[in-house]
Structure 1
Amino acid sequence: MGPRRIVCLTAETTEVAFAVGAGDRVVGVSGYAVRPPEARQRPKVAAFQTAAIDRILALEPDLVLGFSDIQAPLAAELIRAGVTVLVTNQRTLQETYAAIELIGAACGEPERGRALAREVEAELETVAGRSSRRRDRRPRVYFEEWNDPLITGIAWVSELIELCGGEDVFAGMRAQRRAPDRVVQPGDVLAAAPEVIIASWCGKKARLERIAARPGWDALPAVRNGHLYEIKSADILAPGPSLVHGARQLAAILDRVTGAA
């Protein structure tokens, strides 16, 4: 029998728990959880790097789900309090599919976890294929995950750019699992001369006008041609089923840039 009282510390773990049929057993969620809508009715017990440990313990969870090494201190505190904790640490799309399966199994729904992982993978391939087949070139893309310092996209974002028919100008950095190791300098972006800039500042609105106003960036093809876009972090920086929403937006952007929409 699976766990009866589940707390989800992140948006993606919340979404997966509900999607595999364990939503009625979720008793606490992250404040950043947006999908499904009914998850927003659960008690909010965590941000991302912080959580209300006392409130979590008061909910008497028999399983806490989290994501990322950034949540290691939270996981350690809960483990010391006697709670069972599962924290996945996916960075690539394949690791994301595996994490979905693992979370499904931890929730007592292994078959539904496997089915969800395959569904997400198939949908991403469909979105990507439908878009890239309409185009005869691959636009050069700079994806900005954070603005101070400039941090380029994590591995699954880089992979999505390629799946959707773009070229990530910093693809060589995708192997870096830690955000501090993906810091780029403004001059690096100028040298890369991206045709498209996509920003997704984790947890806050991207200010595209500020990006365009950076010294010298008016020379970039993306800025000259007005190809600056935002994809909300909930759609592309939460490595779970929501990546489908991000992929659809990414594909539409690349189609617009090449006139293939």
Structure 2
Amino acid sequence: MNGAPAPLRGPRRIVCLTEEPTETLYALGEEHRIVGISGFTVRPPRARREKPKVSAFTSAKIDAILALEPDLAIGFSDIQADIAAELVRRGVEVWISNHRSVEGILDYVRRLGALVGAAARAEAYADDLRRGLDEVAARAGSLPRRPRVYFEEWDEPPITGIRWVAELVRIAGGDDVFPELAAEPLAKQRILADPSEVVRRAPDIIVGSWCGKKFRPDRVAARPGWDVIPAVRDGELHEVKSPLILQPGPAALTDGLRALAGIVHGWSERHPG
């Protein structure tokens, strides 16, 4: 019948076990499908006001999720495997994404959009995110030299940055000092067995993003032998808040990347030679 609204396609009652599906669905105008979110969700801020919080990252309120009668739960990585298995056993369809790169994030946006019948909008959104990446990379190309960057996502024990973070550091104009560890998908594989290796690799910038707690540059600078690191010597210890960079979703490609670029460009202005 002419003028009738198009039928709603795809899952209608989605529980988001991490932040990135929530942020993406809101960006696509599909937030009406979300019936529950992660308690760690901060983007967009209105999601915390509008949606019940039913999960953490490694645990979830299974009975509360079931009470929402979801037709899909969306999570991320092997860390949520136990939650996913329990939901599957209880009859809930689950999608666990496992992307770890910038390209993976863009593809995730496209796949999630297609899943909810918003493929064209998701493609346009991914293209817009891509343009933002390209603009930052173009500005970085004008830097006189690229700083060496040590990114730390946890301090005890020290854990280096995951792959999409290392890629964003490069896009912002820096070079990650642990590229071989960035390729490792699991955090336990990125633990620095010997923290003095950071001293040997002599980063110009140290970026801390300690998941769930405030970065303490004073504690980093006080580590034995770290006073000779250029970043420590020059006071180039900076924080990027973990919600901006450690979730493999749009935030990392926008605000997270802009924060990294600001740090790199600020360093370049202070160290032009």
TM-score normalised over the length of structure 1? 0.96
Query: Per-residue deviation at 1:122?
Result: 1.6
Q: Aligned pair 1:171/2:213, yes or no?
A: no
- Equivalent residue number for residue 255 of structure 2: 245
1:59-208 to 2 correspondence within 5 Å? 59-130=68-139, 132-184=140-192, 185-208=194-217
Identity score, percent: 52
Unpaired stretches in structure 1, ≥5 consecutive residues:
none
Unpaired stretches in structure 2, ≥5 consecutive residues:
1-8
Q: Deviations over 1:15-61 (max 9, x none)?
A: 01111121012111111111112111110111111111111111111
Looking at structure 2, the residues matched to 93 and 239 of structure 1 have their Cα atoms a distance apart, in angstroms, of 8
Q: Deviations over 1:161-193 (max 9, x none)?
A: 111110111112222111111111211101111
> Per the alignment, in what secondary structure is the counterpart of residue 138 of structure 1?
coil
Looking at structure 1, the residues matched to 256 and 35 of structure 2 have their Cα atoms a distance apart, in angstroms, of 27
> Per the alignment, in what secondary structure is the counterpart of residue 151 of structure 2?
strand
Query: Per-residue deviation at 1:200?
Result: 0.5
Amino acid at match of 1:16: T
Which structure has the larger Rg over C-alpha atoms? 2
Query: Per-residue deviation at 1:134?
Result: 3.5
Alignment partner for residue 14 of structure 1, among 22, 27, 41? 22
> Per the alignment, in what secondary structure is the counterpart of residue 250 of structure 2?
coil
Looking at structure 1, the residues matched to 138 and 104 of structure 2 have their Cα atoms a distance apart, in angstroms, of 21
Please provide the CA RMSD for this pair: 1.4
Amino acid at match of 2:96: V
Alignment partner for residue 29 of structure 1, among 20, 37, 52? 37
8 Å CA contact 2:105–2:250 kept in 1: the answer is: no
> Number of matched residues?
260
8 Å CA contact 1:11–1:34 kept in 2: the answer is: yes
Looking at structure 2, the residues matched to 144 and 29 of structure 1 have their Cα atoms a distance apart, in angstroms, of 27
Looking at structure 2, the residues matched to 254 and 141 of structure 1 have their Cα atoms a distance apart, in angstroms, of 9
Runs of 4+ in 1 over 4 A off after TM superposition: none
Alignment partner for residue 38 of structure 1, among 21, 46, 63? 46
Looking at structure 1, the residues matched to 73 and 198 of structure 2 have their Cα atoms a distance apart, in angstroms, of 40
TM-score normalised over the length of structure 2? 0.92
8 Å CA contact 2:102–2:164 kept in 1: the answer is: yes
> Per the alignment, in what secondary structure is the counterpart of residue 242 of structure 1?
helix
Looking at structure 2, the residues matched to 29 and 53 of structure 1 have their Cα atoms a distance apart, in angstroms, of 12
Deviates more, 1:251-260 or 1:111-120: 111-120
